[in-house]
A = this chain, B = another copy of it.
Amino acid sequence: MATTARFDRALAALAHPARRRIVERLTRGPACVTDLAAPFDMSLNGVSKHLKVLEGAGLISRTRSGREHVLSLKPEPLRQLHAWSGKFHRFWSDRLDALEDHLKASKEDNS
């Protein structure tokens, strides 16, 4: 709650499909920049920038091993995201349409 800005940046970072692909790739273990860039039809610099965004959002961390930068997934922001989105659980849990209708109707009541 204190610093929403970090959460903002995590969401924004994950909004880009390339960055989500990178995050998913990192669930199978840390990797260096070149490896992460390989599957993409994009310049290495482009990927490097995406990594900087992910790092700035706290989604990945970097350790230098010689000339390679090794990137690892940091779970905390994802855990936060899961927790936050879980707050809406009652909105999709069973009787979805009925609930929606109910809400619309009750709105009309107290307006």
Residues of A within 8 A of B (CB): 4, 8-9, 11-12, 14-17, 24, 27, 29-31, 63, 65, 70, 72-73, 75-76, 78-79, 81-82, 85-89, 91-92, 96, 100, 103-104, 106-108
Contact = CB atoms under 8 A, between A and B. Distances in A.
A11 B14 contact: yes
B100 A72 contact: yes
A81 B91 contact: no
6 contacts: A8-B17, A11-B11, A30-B104, A72-B103, A78-B92, A79-B88
A86 B75 contact: no
The 4 closest A-B pairs by CB, nearest first: A11-B15, A75-B91, A12-B15, A82-B85
Interface-centre pick from A8, A24, A27, A92 (highest chain B CB count, 10 A): A92
A107 B26 CA distance: 11
